[in-house]
Amino acid sequence: MVDGPGCTLNGEKIRARVEKGQSVVELRGSAVSGTPPSSCYNALSSLTGCSYTGVQTLGKELFMYFGLKAIRVHFGMNGSIRLNQAVKKGQENSRPMPVAVLEVQLEKDLICFYESTVDVRNVSECQEKIRFLEELDVCSSKFSFSRAECEIKKQKARMLCDILLDQMILPGVGNIIKNEALFDSGLRSPSSPIHEEDEEVSAVSDGERPALLGSVSRDPSHTENVTATPEITSTHGGSRIQSPPEVHKEVSDALELKEEGTQEGTALGPDACSIGIDE
């Protein structure tokens, strides 16, 4: 699944490389030429001649604006974009190009979307949704830890692991971010906020942004408290995770216990190095 960081990067690429004010010359792709209900021909064809005015992202959604209308893109499991793609000389027949879901031909630029879902929406509705949820978007510069914590606490009857994946509560969070946030906070995945102390729920919301991969770096205030301790790392989803300070203490205690056990000939218990996470 293309989570919030991947979608945000796609939006940044379009924002940096596609000039505003260009008119739509042509729209192509399976979303235009396919048969209903997969075809959006009537809605998409109405964009021809409209000027491109900007792009925004919210969680896993990307919105391209054309006057009063917008193209909403969801990248699904493996969606991607290509800008101004060109086949290099001598490679014309080396590999067939994938069929684009949508190609937006502007006056100077070509934007192609692959393995995605697209539809046309009203700009005001898209912008209203963004204004309402941008403080909960883990990739947004306006992300609010306090509001995220408040929204999580409201969901008292639900499993915490399900709450974190709810796109109306924390847009952009996927399995990778969820797992790393829970790992960093030291909470078990099935825990429900109704059973957690306030500081533990805060630890989950504080751990969301440091868990972002690729485009979003670790929050300085989050790492400040752990840089003075020896690093104990684990690999999850191809990324490097640093354990909280209390984990280091428990591991150190376990190692001391192991040394004492070795000297005295006693056996080390199975839970001596559990690093503080319930099995």
SS3 102: strand
Catalytic residue among 2, 55, 216, 247: 2
Give the separation between CA 202 and CA 217, rounded to whole angstroms: 19
Residues across the chain: 279
β-bridge pairing 61-66 and 52-58: antiparallel
Integer Cα distance of 156 and 160 in angstroms = 9
* Residue 2 among the catalytic residues: yes
Pairing of strands 102-106, 24-28: antiparallel
Residue 230, exposed/middle/buried by CB under 10 A (0-12, 13-18, 19+)? exposed
d(CA 119, CA 38): 10
> 3-class DSSP state for residue 227?
coil
First-to-last CA distance in the chain?
Answer: 27
Opening angle at CA 11, ends 8 and 17, nearest 5: 140
Residues tagged active-site: 2
